[in-house]
Amino acid sequence: MKVVYNWLKDFVDVAASPQELASRLALSGTNIGGVENGAHGAVIEAEVSSNRPDCLGHHGIAREAAAIYKLPLKHVSPKPVEGQAKAGDAVKVEIQSPELCGRFTARVMRNVKIQPSPKWLKDRLEASGVASISNVVDVSNYVMLELGHPLHTFDYDKVRDHKIVVRRAKPGEKMRTLDGIERQLDSNICMISDGDGSRAVGIGGIMGGGETEISFSTKNVLIECAWFEPVAIRRAARFLKLHTEASTRFGRGADPEMAEIASRRAAELILQLAGGELLAGVVDIYPGKRAAKTMRVTRAEILRVMGAEVPDKEVEASLGALGFAPVRIDQNRGAEGSLLAAWECTQPSWRADVEREIDLIEEIARIYGLHKFPPRLPAARQGAARLPHYEAETRLRERLIGLGYREILTIPHVAEERDALFRPEGITPARLSNPLSEEANVLRSTGTVTMAAALEWNLNHGQRNARLFEIGRHYRLNGSESFETRVLTIGATGEAREKGLYDSARDFSLADLKGDLDSIGELCGGFRWADGGAEWLHAARRGAVRLNTIISSEARNLSSLGVAGQLARRVAERLKLRQDVFLAELEIDAFYDTVRIAKNPRRYEPLPRFPSVERDFSVLLADGTKFSDVTKTIQSLGIGEIHSIEATDLFRGKSVPAGKYSLLVRVTFQSREATLTEAQINDFSGRIVGALGKQLGAQLRAQ
């Protein structure tokens, strides 16, 4: 709403500069977009909130200014000269849908002269951003901007039978509005029709039609000034996707009492600008007339909500200036500042938004000044709690960052076909019914789909090396129920170690991903790896990640956390990823639970007092024999002194026959009782070599 400073002065005699006025308005609840000095003086851009339709006109803003500066507000009481003939004989109005249209007033003017508007009117409209058309049309816009109430003018002679019928739209009814668009209607929409009601001449409170439009040949004018039910108007405007100055005002709740005053004001201006004769009286059908509501506000409640006193005279001045006519009604009404003070207030017709005590308190507070309530910090009454998984998540995040991963955040909206690349079978994604585009029509059903996109972005922007993680959610449907699951997603591509002064470059590999995940797994007592994984992962370089059963609780034992591996070439090519990409996705709630569970039973293990001894075994193994077969075989010997079994070298080719590989196994022995003797070590080694040979066919290579 553009507020023309000089226009405002028609109603309130403010001395403040436009800038100062704007800032005072802002601090009392009228949001200000800016102040501009144009050709017609200062214009304040007021961003009126949706609960304040009364401020969508200069008179309403003037009331605010009058309340702020404690100045009198000039009332609007137009007194146009009326002729002998009666309006009631010239026009008939019937409201068939009073639930949609609460009031309809009609005035008739004869022999007007349609011509361009005078300069002062054009200037004010121009300052308000409204184009001037002709004197009569301009008047209806002018009155709307002045009093906040929309009007509509008809060419009286084009209204069939000089009769208006207000009704619901009929099934299948269509109508061409002033903007030339034919609109499909529905039965909740209020129509203005003429004659027998069969022809629609306007959509009530939203836009008129072309047939009865004012033109330069118009002689006689019918002024409509009505009141429409706000919810119905909002529903209709949304249904029609047609938002107009009128629908905004009626939709937020216009002042039903203003309808007749605005009509009179329009007649006054038309007489002044277009001449002619105003028929006597008004046709005023007012089925929606309501008695004014009364409500109370008490000092006790002001104190309870606001936490500080407001003096009696400030309560009365603010409410009085805004039209609530406060009257003290308590026993102590002689006493200034009484804690028992209570005021009875009457709701003005333009403030349907104020109907409760709290609403009155807000009115008092905003005019009195919010800065007058002293800030203080309330005492805490109870301890504060972090999220249950706060510690686990913090440690996870720290560890990932230590491992070189950067945290990312992604938007879960993705293209359905992309989502499908990563979606496990049998999962229903959460599709949007009103996506912004087909590129963003489902919520991701896995974390990996957006992680892959983040890697893609980096590769496409020359960033070859990226190690990323995201702690977020994935979204799935089961029937009409939605499920959001917290997931950790990891993505890596490029070099694990970049070439530098001291190191050579090394590409990121599955072993890096596995090692990093196991470093995380340490927090929850370890991960177990199993064959398997997802279809979108490389068949030879993927695995399933599980919680270590020993640590996990009964509820989650053997719980599968997720998958990890190298992205299958088939998918990488679809995404145009031209280098190896590694991805992992873990459902993280089970992990968090287990981090908590694993933490408490941990106990200190005394450090060994005796030295440990290492022995290396270089063995030839058949392809397909796993390292876990080796460790199981060695462990099956039940040698309690074995502290660890590690693989320290692995190679194929050269002196190694085809179908075999060479593995260097390092076994560390440690006794808690004594220093191990050479004889003991030799005995253990012999048994190990024997078992590996017997059970796995392993041959010991020359050391």
**Which residues in the 468-487 window bind other proteins by CB under 8 A?**
468-469, 473, 475, 477, 479-480, 482, 484
Give the tokens for residue 625.
């024999």
- Position 575 contacts other proteins (CB under 8 A): no
CB nearer to other proteins: give 25 or 278: 25
CA separation for the pair 503, 553 (Å, rounded): 43
CA separation for the pair 268, 262 (Å, rounded): 10
Among residues 387, 622, 647, 650, the one that binds other proteins under rule CB under 8 A = 387
Among residues 436, 540, 679, 702, the one that binds other proteins under rule CB under 8 A = 436
- Position 507 contacts other proteins (CB under 8 A): no
Give the tokens for residue 462.
């020359």
- Residue recorded with tokens 């603010």: 318
Q: Which stretch binds other proteins (CB under 8 A): 65-73, 160-168, 312-320, 366-374?
A: 366-374
Among residues 295, 306, 676, 696, the one that binds other proteins under rule CB under 8 A = 306
Among residues 304, 626, 632, 694, the one that binds other proteins under rule CB under 8 A = 304
- Position 448 contacts other proteins (CB under 8 A): no
Least spacing, CB of residue 99 vs other proteins, in Å: 15
Among residues 254, 454, 564, 613, the one that binds other proteins under rule CB under 8 A = 454
CB 612 within 8 A of CB 588: no
Least spacing, CB of residue 37 vs other proteins, in Å: 15
Among residues 81, 377, 540, 674, the one that binds other proteins under rule CB under 8 A = 377
Q: Which amino acid would we find at residue 489?
A: T
Q: Which stretch binds other proteins (CB under 8 A): 154-162, 376-384, 528-536, 540-548?
A: 376-384
Give the tokens for residue 171.
């099934």
Q: How many CB atoms lie within 10 A of CB 420?
A: 15
Beta strand segments in 24-143, E: 31-38, 41-47, 92-95, 101-110
- Position 515 contacts other proteins (CB under 8 A): no
CB nearer to other proteins: give 49 or 331: 49
CA distance to 166, 533, 632, per residue, from 98 (Å): 8, 66, 86
Among residues 131, 181, 231, 292, the one that binds other proteins under rule CB under 8 A = 231
Least spacing, CB of residue 371 vs other proteins, in Å: 7
Determine the Cα angle at 257 with ends 324 and 118, to 5°. Answer: 110
DSSP secondary structure, 460-479, as one string:
HTT---EEEEEEEEEEEEET
- Position 499 contacts other proteins (CB under 8 A): no
- List Cβ neighbours of 409 (8 Å cut-off, separation of 6 or more): 470, 472
- List Cβ neighbours of 149 (8 Å cut-off, separation of 6 or more): 57, 143, 225, 249, 254, 255, 258, 259, 261, 262
Chain centre distance of CA 162: 50
CB 393 within 8 A of CB 592: yes
CB nearer to other proteins: give 48 or 87: 48
- List Cβ neighbours of 672 (8 Å cut-off, separation of 6 or more): 608, 609, 610
Least spacing, CB of residue 481 vs other proteins, in Å: 9
- Position 252 contacts other proteins (CB under 8 A): yes
- Position 607 contacts other proteins (CB under 8 A): no
- Position 504 contacts other proteins (CB under 8 A): no
Q: Which stretch binds other proteins (CB under 8 A): 146-154, 274-282, 499-507, 566-574?
A: 499-507
DSSP single-letter state for residue 308? S
Q: Which stretch binds other proteins (CB under 8 A): 125-133, 216-224, 276-284, 384-392?
A: 384-392
Give the tokens for residue 533.
């994984």
CB nearer to other proteins: give 381 or 576: 381
CA separation for the pair 361, 350 (Å, rounded): 18
By CB neighbour count within 10 A (0-12 exposed, 13-18 middle, 19+ buried), where does 79 fall? exposed
Among residues 77, 217, 434, 504, the one that binds other proteins under rule CB under 8 A = 434
Give the tokens for residue 419.
């989502």
- Position 622 contacts other proteins (CB under 8 A): no
Q: Which stretch binds other proteins (CB under 8 A): 154-162, 383-391, 602-610, 682-690?
A: 383-391
- Position 382 contacts other proteins (CB under 8 A): yes
**What sign does the dihedral 352-353-356-361 (CA atoms) show?**
negative
CA distance to 150, 154, 171, 240, 346, per residue, from 244 (Å): 10, 18, 24, 11, 31
CA distance to 411, 423, 477, 585, 603, per residue, from 481 (Å): 21, 18, 6, 23, 43
Least spacing, CB of residue 632 vs other proteins, in Å: 35
Q: Kindly state the number of chain residues that form the binding site for other proteins, as judged by CB under 8 A.
A: 92
CB 260 within 8 A of CB 78: no
- Position 131 contacts other proteins (CB under 8 A): no
- Residues within window 333-362 making contact with other proteins, judged by CB under 8 A: 356, 358-359, 361-362
- Residues within window 34-93 making contact with other proteins, judged by CB under 8 A: 49-52
Per-residue contact flags (x/-) with other proteins for residues 522 to 551, judged by CB under 8 A: ------------------------------
Least spacing, CB of residue 133 vs other proteins, in Å: 28
Among residues 270, 322, 466, 547, the one that binds other proteins under rule CB under 8 A = 466
- Residues within window 404-423 making contact with other proteins, judged by CB under 8 A: 404-413
